[in-house]
């Protein structure tokens, strides 16, 4: 699953998954024609063989949900069967095209900004000193610098106690 698919899942309204597949009978027939038996279909959908027989019988009113047949659709190929889904409820949130792309960009920029702030920002003020460090120690440059300043201060205080520092 790539980043765009993950963001689509995170930003999608769950009511999309709960919609019924209106042509479940045709879906079961298509799966049978492609060599899948009821046991295999039931295993893919995570339901019993009896439930699959109900989905495949046009006289029964039981219909599968889109989320239940997702693995079956993936197995038979998304291009081989198109689900007729019931309409969305009035409370369902529909995002415009590109919203997940924009969310992905904002997320990525936030992560990159954090990495820059933690790893490279401390070095930008003292690049000569920081560039001498190995790459894996650069994020800790600030703490090294702070330790060095504390040690310099301690030495200054010792010298001051002995009357050497002015």
Q: Which residues contact 30 (CB under 8 A, 6 or more apart)?
A: 76, 80, 81
How many DSSP H helices and E strands does the chain contain?
A: 9, 0
What is the chain's mean pLDDT, rounded?
Answer: 81
For 88, list phi and psi in degrees, rounded to 5.
-70, 150
pLDDT band at 43 (very low <50, low <70, confident <90, very high): very high
Q: Is the pTM of this model over 0.75?
A: no
Q: How many CB atoms lie within 10 A of CB 107?
A: 14
Per-residue pLDDT averaged across 45-49, rounded?
Answer: 92
CA angle at 66 for the pair 98 and 74, rounded to the nearest 5°: 80
Strand-pairing partners, residue 60, are: none
Q: Provide the 3-class DSSP secondary structure of residue 20.
A: strand
What angle do the packed helices 3-11 and 99-115 form, to 10 degrees?
120
pLDDT of residue 12 exceeding 80, the answer is no
pLDDT tens digit sequence for 85-107: 888 777 776 666 677 678 888 99
């Amino acid at each position: 699953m790539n980043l765009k698919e993950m963001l689509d899942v995170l930003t999608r309204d769950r009511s999309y998954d709960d919609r019924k597949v209106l042509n479940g009978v045709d879906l079961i027939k298509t799966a049978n024609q492609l060599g899948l038996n009821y046991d295999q279909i039931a295993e893919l959908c995570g339901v019993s063989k009896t439930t699959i027989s109900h989905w495949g019988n046009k006289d029964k009113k039981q219909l599968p949900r889109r989320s239940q047949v997702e693995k079956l659709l993936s197995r038979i190929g998304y291009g081989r069967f198109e689900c007729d889904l019931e309409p969305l409820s009035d409370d369902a949130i529909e995002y415009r095209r590109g919203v997940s792309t924009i969310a992905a960009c904002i997320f990525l920029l936030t992560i990159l900004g954090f990495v820059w702030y933690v790893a490279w920002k401390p070095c930008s003020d003292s690049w000569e000193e920081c560039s001498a460090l190995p790459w894996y120690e650069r994020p800790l440059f600030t703490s090294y610098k702070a330790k060095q300043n504390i040690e310099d201060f301690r030495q200054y205080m010792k010298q001051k106690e002995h009357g050497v520092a002015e």
